[in-house]
Amino acid sequence: MALTVRTRDIPKIPGAVKWYRVSAYITGVLLLALVVEMILKYTPLHLEMQLGGGAFFVPEGTAGKEPGTFNLSIGILIAHGWLYVLYLFTDFRLWSIMRWKPIRFLLIALGGIIPFMSFVVEHRMQQIAMDTYHELTAAQQREKEAAR
């Protein structure tokens, strides 16, 4: 028997979906920036990105070394790592409220580490969650009307 959303959790669905969507977009954008950073650094270009100091692209190993500069390559790496943890938290919250199967949690989690997948998975999971929410609220409304 498949688990269904608990009645007390139905009002929590839109908020959980909103936070999941926000974290999915942030994680997805940072992952794409990380891919660009890796391409710049680990191809024959051997470049890093930095803020300040005039040049945006600098030779590998020199970003952020001069006063007034910031190594954007490392910043993107660290930001994606920590925000992926937030993404996993919002994934877990939505997954537990919806009472989905464990494989769906893993699928959503993969969205934060495979480029472009967070956007695809976010769209699909948001659609499934909100369709379920609308069905459950409509069923509740019908039950209220039938009880009158």
Q: Is the pLDDT reported for residue 108 higher than 70?
A: yes
Q: Is the pLDDT reported for residue 69 higher than 70?
A: yes
Strand-pair partners of 57 = 49
Tens of pLDDT, residues 8-44? 999 999 999 999 999 999 999 999 999 999 999 999 9
Residue type, 102: P
Find all residues with CB under 8 Å of 102, minimum gap 6, and list them: none
pTM comes to: 0.90
Exposed, middle or buried by CB within 10 Å (0-12, 13-18, 19+), for 28?
buried
Residue 24 has what pLDDT? 96
Q: How far apart are CA 109 and CA 24, in angstroms?
A: 10
